[in-house]
Amino acid sequence: MRQAVNSGRRFYKMSGSGNDFVVFDSRDANARDLESVDTVKALSARGTGVGADGVVFLEPRQEDSFQIRYYNSDGSRGELCGNATLCALRLAYDTAMVDAEEVSIQTDSGVVTGRMAAGRPEIDFAPVSEVRDTVAEIPRLTRETCLGFARAGVPHIVILDEDVRTADILGRGSRIRRDPSLRDGANVNFVAQIDGRWYTRTYERGVEGETLACGTGAVATAILLSVWGRAGDRVTLRTRSGRDLEVRLRETGGVWHPSLRGPAEIVFKGELGDVLDLGAESPSA
């Protein structure tokens, strides 16, 4: 049965390096009744909904902390999304949800610390210790120099490719994302150096397609580039949107302490109309 969720709910449409999100501030109204698979899918649908890679819910805790709940566009709950967290941090400061110089952000993957740095939001990830420089279960193609794994909040396969412009992002990405050797699946990141600059593209789990950027993927990619001896402790990655994500790394005893900084903007503010449950059956054309 098709049914409309409550209209009139205010939201923010935000973009983080091309990752776009529908963001709700719980101070406007309790939005927990929007947190269903069908409603998230309806909101995220391009052409019939607001259109987004995911939906984010913000709740204040104290003057120096807040919580986010993140849902992928397919309705699945995401442990962490780097660009969604950068957007949430930007919004929390812009709307005076927090005003401390450094704040704590509660995510499903744990607490991350955030701040504004050089006019951009920056977050410190929880320590990353699950890193493999090779994944024997997934053979490399001839064009792929390295293939590794890192869990930067969520699982990532990172592939050092000869040229991301011609990599099979959708085909190879979707196959690896569902490889049986990966207990939780994985995002799949392709990276290559072109004219001295690192370029990256991502097939994203939960979106089930290529996104214009991936924050956790940028962190995983920077870690593995460092492990492979291809980069140092500061890595700038040009995303598919043409915007840069910056990663700072510190490694102690095999544990990585990454920080991610990147652009996050409010695209527009809106108010929901009658968003329909698109999971219902529709007549055949």
- What percentage of residues in the chain have a pLDDT greater than 70? 94
Set 86, 212, 214, 220: catalytic member: 214
Residues facing 123 on adjacent strands: 114, 260
Region label for 248, one of left (φ > 0), alpha (ψ between -120 and 50) or beta (otherwise): beta
Kindly report the length of the chain. Answer: 285
> CA dist 211 to 27, 44, 87, 118, 251, Å?
30, 13, 16, 26, 29
Q: What is the pLDDT of residues 74-133, one digit of tens each?
A: 999 998 999 999 999 999 999 999 999 999 999 998 899 999 998 999 999 999 999 999
Q: What is the pLDDT of residues 255-275, one digit of tens each?
A: 999 999 999 999 999 999 875
C-beta of residue 105 within 8 angstroms of C-beta of residue 66: yes
C-beta of residue 228 within 8 angstroms of C-beta of residue 191: no
- What percentage of residues in the chain have a pLDDT greater than 90? 84
Work out the mean pLDDT of the chain and round it to a whole number. Answer: 92
Phi, psi of 86 (to 5 degrees): -60, -40
Asked if 214 is an active-site residue, the reply is yes
Whose structure tokens read 């072109």? 194
| Number of neighbours of residue 74 by Cβ within 10 angstroms | 14
Asked if 81 is an active-site residue, the reply is yes
- In terms of pTM, does the model score above 0.95? no
Q: Which two structure tokens, joined as six digits, stand for 146?
A: 């390295």
Residues facing 21 on adjacent strands: 14, 54
| Number of neighbours of residue 118 by Cβ within 10 angstroms | 7
Mean pLDDT on 154-162: 97
3-state secondary structure of 120: strand
Q: How confident is the model at residue 6 (pLDDT cuts 50, 70, 90)?
A: low
Structure confidence at residue 62 (pLDDT): 84
Mean pLDDT on 60-68: 92
Set 31, 43, 81, 272: catalytic member: 81
Pairing mode, if any, of strands 65-72 and 187-194? unpaired
Phi, psi of 79 (to 5 degrees): -65, -40
